[in-house]
Amino acid sequence: TTGTTVLAFDMGASSGRALIGRLANDSEGKRKLEVSEIHRFPNHAIQVGKHLHWDTLRLLHEMKKGIRLAFQNGYEPSTFGVDTWGVDFGLLDANGELLGNPYHYRDSHTDGLIEEVNGLIGQEALFRQSGLQFMPFNTLYQLYAMKKAASPKLDVAQTLLLTPDLLTYLLTGVKSCEFTMATTTQLYDPGTQSWNVELMEKLGIPSRLFLNPVHPGTIVGPLAPEVMAELGVPAMQAVAVGTHDTESAIAAVPAGDEPFAFLVCGTWSLLGTEMSQPLLTTETMELEFSNEGGVGGTYQLLKNIMGLWILQECKREWDEKGNELSFPELVRLAEQAAPFRSLIHPDDPRFFAPGGMVDKIRSFCEETNQPIPESEGEIIRCILESLALRYRQALEQAEMLTDKRYGGLHMVGGGIQNELLCRFTANALGKPVWAGPIEASAIGNMLMQLVALGECKDLQEARRLVADSFPISVYEPSTDANWSAAYEKFVGFGRV
């Protein structure tokens, strides 16, 4: 029905936003999704004593503001959905109150735990039961770290809510667990399609914490009466969308029915391809790919790449020194810097933790006998060229794993505003890049609300709506041979 209005909250690691989506007919009578942003706010990691945390209550405050603004602007959304970054969670006590501040996935309490857990469970066994790349921040390691620290919160907790489910609960009072987020925990077994209770027991993680997952498109419940009263707004139903932002973003890739490759480009870069089944082979494990549950019964075979985080951290460092440069200014400086001077491997573990990013880049270059980048432009150029080469490496690996060749790469997310990165990526791949939409996670979030409301039949129809509603920028590759030479050098860094 045209006029149908939905509200999406998309919480990224660097910023959160509230967007309104409205179905409308254009002048030719074609149905389109119109999107307007009504609120955007920064999201910060906060160090408290020894630990790094999220400011969950601030996020709740900003979401309430988003709801108020939506109605003040004359919109009347019937539903809302929340998507966030993966893996993180809050714990509730028996009265349903939040126990402490949720940890940030970059907290160092999980350092060294991949090896320790592999020693207990076996790497292959764990991979076959979870399908996930071994990332230090997976929920499994976070809970195991709390267990090792004898955290009293773990003893008292009755329920674990993953971040989007937690934020939805704080607005509705309804506890739920959505499937796409559940598959980021490493505690969900895609083979048996259930929580891996045996694994939890082996690691001393209480299995009572976990609710049965529901699939995207499920109605969770209405805004809590006290929230409606506080904000002065009518009832709105929460929908469990693809609550993992990456999965919502992939749902909004305007691809047709053919197999395609995608790159969700934000704080992280997630590169991969859509599958109907998880690919739980040794080769997948060795090439360090994940199988993440997606919307519409899909599995996404993808690699987590450190992404624009590295650039964000350099920017933060310069900002804090009073040398404030916007993203477009940084991109311009990079464009002016000399090409192919020095490269890093973005997934070198040193780049994961916050702080000292400029020095980390310089020391990587020094250790690998390359010229040390000095200026802002040289540093950003080094990051962007290195990311583009990493994308080529990951795309080739995805092609190897699936035994398919992809004709180009769909790029979505905030990072595609960096046109230099899109251009570099097309050049590094020697294939076209199709960029758009920018707000893919929020749009994918809206699509599953439209599915829940019966406005879209399925993922295919929803994707056609995206293709009909948002423009795409095409970047054709150049024939610059320097990219091939740079790739040889990059592969020499030796990481998969």
**What is 315-384 written as a DSSP string?**
HHHHHHTT----HHHHHHHHHHSPSSS----TTSGGGTSSS-HHHHHHHHHHHTT-PPP-SHHHHHHHHH
Which one of 6-14, 62-70, 71-79, 270-278 is the stretch in contact with ligand ADP (CB under 6 A)? 6-14
CB nearer to ligand ADP: give 35 or 223.
35
Measured between alpha carbons, how far is 60 from 316 in angstroms, rounded to an integer? 24
Residue from the set 159, 304, 397, 445 that interacts with ligand LRH by CB under 6 A: 304
Q: Does 337 bind ligand LRH (CB under 6 A)?
A: no
**Strands (E) located in 420-476:** 433-435, 473-475
- For ligand ADP, the binding residues in 326-355 under the rule CB under 6 A are 327-328, 331
Quick check: 105 binds ligand LRH (CB under 6 A)? yes
Q: Contacting ligand LRH (CB under 6 A), which of 107, 178, 245, 455?
A: 245
Could you say whether residue 179 binds ligand LRH (CB under 6 A)? Answer: no
411 binds, among ligand ADP, ligand LRH, none (CB under 5 to 8 A by kind): none
Is 411 a binder of ligand LRH (CB under 6 A)? no
Tell me the closest approach of the beta carbon of residue 11 to ligand LRH, in angstroms: 9
Work out whether 289 is an interface residue with ligand LRH (CB under 6 A). Answer: no
Residues 6 or more apart whose Cβ sits within 8 Å of residue 259: 273, 274, 402, 404, 406
Return the residue matching tokens 């910023």: 15
What is the residue whose two structure tokens read 């770290």?
Answer: 145
**Contacting residue, 246, 291, 425, 469, with ligand LRH by CB under 6 A:** 246
Alpha helix segments (H runs only) across 122-234: 123-130, 139-148, 152-156, 163-172, 179-182, 197-203, 225-231
Tell whether residue 324 is a contact of ligand ADP (CB under 6 A).
no
37: tokens are 């942003």
Site for ligand ADP in 228-267 (CB under 6 A): 266-267
370 binds ligand ADP (CB under 6 A): no
Residue 439: helix, strand or coil by DSSP?
Answer: coil
Round to whole Å and give the CA distance between 408 and 264: 14
Stretch that binds ligand ADP, among 402-410, 415-423, 446-454, 481-489 (CB under 6 A): 415-423
Question: Rounded to the nearest 5°, which phi and psi values hold at 210?
Answer: -100, 130
Active-site residue 245, yes or no?
yes
Q: Which of residues 395-414 bind ligand ADP (CB under 6 A)?
A: 413-414
Q: Which of 107, 245, 359, 403 is labelled catalytic?
A: 245
Taking the C-alpha atoms of residue 142 and residue 366, their distance in angstroms, rounded to an integer, is 33
Contacts of residue 496, defined as CB under 8 A and 6 or more positions apart, other chains included, come to 286, 287, 288, 397
The Cα 404–Cα 406 span in angstroms is 7
Indicate which single residue of 6, 7, 8, 13 sits in contact with ligand LRH (rule: CB under 6 A): 13
Query: In what helix (H) or strand (E) does residue 424 lie, and over which residues does it extend?
Result: helix 419-429
Q: List Cα–Cα distances, 76 to 67, 87, 234, in angstroms.
A: 10, 32, 9
Task: Return the range that interacts with ligand LRH (CB under 6 A); candidates 79-87, 153-161, 349-357, 359-367.
Answer: 79-87
The one among 86, 164, 190, 436 contacting ligand LRH by CB under 6 A: 86
Residues identified as active-site:
245
Interface residues with ligand LRH (CB under 6 A) are 12-13, 85-87, 105, 244-246, 266-268, 270, 304
Interface residues with ligand ADP (CB under 6 A) are 12-15, 266-267, 308, 311-312, 327-328, 331, 413-415, 417-418
